[in-house]
Structure 1
Amino acid sequence: MAKNPIIAVILNLIIAGLGHVYLGRPKRGIVLFLLTVVVAIVSSGIGWIVGVILCSYDAYQLAQNKPAPFDFLDKYVGE
């Protein structure tokens, strides 16, 4: 069953990586959440906004079966 890309984006806006869990890619979601947290800590918080935007775009592309920015993660964490 196809997943709605808008729902994936909304979930990522709530919690980074949650949209990936919705799409059936929980490992990818967890890794992206952790990366977003680390970048946010290092950048005094501004990285959180960037991370959430990138996670949302990645989930949107995945939901539409298009190439996504973080496809390289599949090599390390699987689908």
Structure 2
Amino acid sequence: MKVSEVSIYGNKYRIRSELDEGFLKEAAKLVENGMRDIEKNYKILTTSKIAIMAAFNLAAEYLKLRNEITFLEVKLGEIEKKINLAEG
């Protein structure tokens, strides 16, 4: 396992992971940007509240995308079934 260093909201973190360092830095940038947006738009004063709101927003976006993928997988299955019936 490799150790990579990322910076989020002015703090450096050492991340132990098998993931590519560029991927980890991109993830850290998403968190950083989310925290900066929360700070700017909601005027929350504590770093922990900013971090929690940013994590909540990222989790909500993840769940939305996961639901969209599930929907598309179901639709793809329906299309495959129609194609198989038409061929059979």
Q: Give the structure-1-normalised TM-score.
A: 0.37
Higher-Rg structure is: 2
User: Whose strand proportion is higher, 1 or 2?
Assistant: 2
TM norm structure 2: 0.34
